């Protein structure tokens, strides 16, 4: 079982509108209303990949009921902490003609200290029956910036490897609890190390520092350029996806996390974990909707992901010595 924390779960409304412009009036060509939030995207792709998954977080009001019921009816276990305020709605307007995405994000609920305590206790119980844990995305107002660090600590105590995909303070403050895997994208990694990074050298150097600080695996996603993984025991890799027609890149990082988690559950070798991660991310980019990619699309892309070992020179040098 994989437990996924989606602390900022809400309802995503995605509208497809051609030639969208500010001040216009539109009937969307297509509308999708679905549970949303980074962790939910991860859970959806895990389900697609055949992994048993339970998703937790906060859910309130009609939106909270909608998201819980919708997840359950699509076969994903939902075990949220009920909250007093309404879960948020996020609107995305996808314009295929202009290649733009416009987002309107509600600020979302303020959670109370006792609701956060209930989440801590739920996390504790869920991890007793989990082989792997994922924390993805931001957290609502009312949550301490130290919460993810605490939850990483719990996972460590319960021996559940944890993948953390968060950014800014929530990520920075969780690092001392040593999540097994972190998955920043390039700009998140740059903000973490407070500087511009070149690809691949700067990304590799930053990854090495984080691994030196006790993170086992740093996977930095690079959009169309794939992902670079720096690891403690499995070397340094760059996985590049094939060229695809991009429909929507939102949630591609979440799909990548799901692919990595699924391959980890199957105890695949490290390079195969990264391959499935990048195939899932790319399948998401080629599909309308976040986390809506199919198993067939992922399988089709899998052999097309190119893997290159970036520490081959270092390896050869150490073999010579
Ligand atoms: N334009 C693209 N073409 C091919 N693959 C892509 C593209 N954009 C994203 N991907 C795939 O998805 C993975 C993750 O993408 P990205 O780096 O954009 O994640 P992210 O910024 O964390 O996204 P999000 O947080 O919205 O989920 C990439 O490593 C790559 O495999
Ligand atoms: Mg991301």
β-strand partners of 3? 54, 133
* Same domain for 221 and 121: no
Mean pLDDT of 227-243: 98
pLDDT per residue as tens digits for the range 148-183: 999 999 999 999 999 999 999 999 999 999 999 999
Give the Cα separation of 225 and 11 in Å (integer). 30
* Same domain for 230 and 147: no
* Same domain for 153 and 9: yes
Best of 183, 220, 223 for a ligand 1 pocket test (most atoms within 8 Å of beta carbon): 223
Q: Which of 96, 127, 162 is the last residue of a domain?
A: 162
Surrounding ion ligand 2 within 5 Å at CB are 253
Residue 174: inside a domain: no
Residue 175: inside a domain: no
Say yes or no to pLDDT of 320 above 60: no
Mean pLDDT of 196-215: 98
What is the pLDDT, as a whole number, of residue 32?
87
Going from the Cα of 255 to the center of ligand 2, the distance in angstroms, rounded, reads 9
Pseudo-torsion of CA 292, 295, 301, 303, nearest 10°?
150
* Same domain for 197 and 140: no
Give the Cα separation of 148 and 268 in Å (integer). 27
What is the pLDDT, as a whole number, of residue 75?
94
Q: Which of 107, 135, 162 is the last residue of a domain?
A: 162
* Same domain for 206 and 122: no
Does ligand 1 have an atom closer than 6 angstroms to the CB of 244?
yes
Residue 44: inside a domain: yes
Give the Cα separation of 164 and 89 in Å (integer). 24
Residue 262: inside a domain: yes
* Same domain for 137 and 30: yes
CATH number of the domain enclosing 149: 3.40.1190.20
| Residue 250 banded pLDDT, cuts 50, 70, 90 | confident
Does ligand 1 have an atom closer than 6 angstroms to the CB of 263?
no
pLDDT per residue as tens digits for the range 102-157: 999 999 999 999 999 999 999 999 999 999 999 999 999 999 999 999 999 999 99
* Same domain for 13 and 156: yes
* Same domain for 120 and 50: yes
Going from the Cα of 264 to the center of ligand 1, the distance in angstroms, rounded, reads 20
User: In the chain, helix, strand, coil percent, each to 5?
Assistant: 40, 25, 35
* Same domain for 254 and 105: no
What is the pLDDT, as a whole number, of residue 314?
61
Mean pLDDT of the chain: 95
Is residue 48 within 8 Å of residue 40, measured between CB atoms?
no
Residue 162, both tokens: 């944890």
pLDDT per residue as tens digits for the range 272-305: 999 999 999 999 999 988 898 999 999 999 999 9
Q: Whose CA is nearest to atom 1 of ligand 1?
A: 224
Say yes or no to pLDDT of 64 above 80: yes
Q: Please tell me the number of the ligand nearest to residue 251's CA.
A: 1
* Same domain for 70 and 3: yes
Give the Cα separation of 228 and 220 in Å (integer). 5
Is residue 84 within 8 Å of residue 112, measured between CB atoms?
yes
* Same domain for 319 and 196: yes
pTM equals: 0.94
Residue 11: inside a domain: yes
Coil, helix or strand for 185? strand
Task: Tell me which residue range forms the domain holding 289.
Answer: 180-321
* Same domain for 208 and 140: no
321 or 168: whose pLDDT is higher?
168
Say yes or no to pLDDT of 316 above 90: no
User: How many structural domains does the chain have?
Assistant: 2
Give the pairing type, strands 181-182 and 162-165.
parallel
Q: Whose CA is nearest to atom 20 of ligand 1?
A: 253
Does ligand 1 have an atom closer than 6 angstroms to the CB of 259?
no
């Amino acid at each position: 079982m994989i437990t996924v924390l989606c602390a900022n779960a809400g309802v995503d409304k995605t509208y497809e509108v051609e030639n969208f412009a500010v001040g216009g009036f539109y009937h969307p060509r297509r509308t999708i209303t679905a549970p949303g939030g980074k962790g939910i995207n991860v859970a959806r792709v895990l389900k697609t990949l055949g992994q048993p998954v339970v998703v937790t977080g906060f859910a309130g009001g009609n939106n909270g009921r909608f998201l819980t019921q919708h997840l359950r009816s699509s076969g994903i276990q939902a075990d949220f902490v009920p909250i007093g305020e309404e879960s948020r709605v996020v609107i995305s307007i996808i314009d295929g003609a202009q290649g733009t995405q416009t987002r309107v994000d509600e600020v979302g609920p303020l959670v109370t200290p006792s609701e956060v305590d209930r989440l801590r206790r739920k996390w504790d119980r869920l991890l007793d029956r989990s082989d792997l844990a994922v924390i993805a995305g931001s957290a609502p107002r009312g949550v301490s910036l130290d919460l993810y660090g605490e939850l990483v600590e719990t996972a460590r105590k319960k021996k559940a490897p944890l993948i953390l995909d968060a950014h800014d303070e929530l990520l920075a403050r969780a690092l001392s609890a040593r999540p097994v895997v972190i998955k920043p994208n390039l700009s998140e990694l740059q903000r973490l190390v407070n500087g511009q990074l070149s690809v691949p050298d700067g990304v590799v150097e930053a990854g090495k520092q984080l691994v030196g600080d006790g993170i086992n695996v740093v996977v930095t996603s690079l959009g169309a350029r794939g992902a670079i993984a720096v690891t403690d025991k499995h070397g340094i890799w760059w996985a590049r996806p094939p060229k695809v027609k991009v429909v929507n890149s939102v949630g591609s990082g979440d799909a990548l996390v799901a692919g990595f988690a699924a391959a980890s559950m199957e105890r695949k070798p490290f390079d195969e974990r990264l391959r499935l991660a990048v195939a899932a991310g790319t399948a998401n980019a080629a599909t309308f909707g976040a986390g809506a990619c199919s198993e067939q699309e992922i399988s089709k892309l899998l052999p097309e992901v190119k893997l290159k070992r970036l520490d081959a020179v270092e390896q050869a040098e150490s073999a010579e010595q």
